[in-house]
């Protein structure tokens, strides 16, 4: 099956930056979308950002738009998330996920339409 591995989390001060990386590998598959989700303390997992493999279109939650940037390497099936101006509210476990099935809805943010997930990497923003 497809495996997903993310890395790059850490502990930083408010206003700092971090870069998360993710790689998908395994049996032959078609990548439609790769994205990032996060789960903060006391909250359910939520959408952060995603990128479509066909055209590179990006999608962001309102809470991170303008601060986070998602990018891809199609050949390597990797995706990165550059996080700038980090806030304490960004503290969460960040998960990378891949959509390798063709969903009729065409959603780029619905976590139920992502097919394989990484184990998560912790990002902590505090003074």
Does residue 23 carry a pLDDT above 80? yes
pLDDT value of residue 61 = 97
Q: Report CA torsion sign: 3, 91, 48, 69.
A: negative
pLDDT for 55-105, tens place per residue?
999 999 999 999 999 999 988 889 999 999 999 999 999 999 999 998 888
Give the pLDDT score at 45. 97
pLDDT bucket at 15, cuts 50 / 70 / 90: very high
**Can you count the helices (H) and strands (E) in the chain?**
0, 11
Which residues 6+ apart lie within 8 Å of 84 measured at CB?
17, 67, 68, 69
Look at strands 10-12 and 121-125 and give their pairing.
parallel
d(CA 101, CA 103): 6
């Amino acid at each position: 099956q497809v495996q997903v591995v993310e890395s790059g989390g850490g502990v930083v001060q408010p206003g700092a930056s971090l870069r998360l990386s993710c790689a998908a590998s395994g049996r032959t598959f078609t990548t439609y979308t790769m994205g990032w989700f996060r789960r903060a303390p006391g909250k359910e997992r939520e959408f952060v950002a995603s990128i479509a493999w066909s055209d590179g279109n990006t999608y962001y939650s309102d809470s991170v738009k303008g601060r986070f940037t998602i990018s891809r390497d199609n050949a390597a099936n990797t995706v990165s998330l550059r996080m700038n101006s980090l806030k304490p509210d960004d503290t969460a476990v960040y998960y990378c996920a891949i959509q390798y099935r063709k969903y009729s809805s065409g959603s780029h943010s619905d976590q139920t339409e992502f097919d394989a997930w990484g184990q998560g990497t912790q990002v902590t923003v505090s003074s």
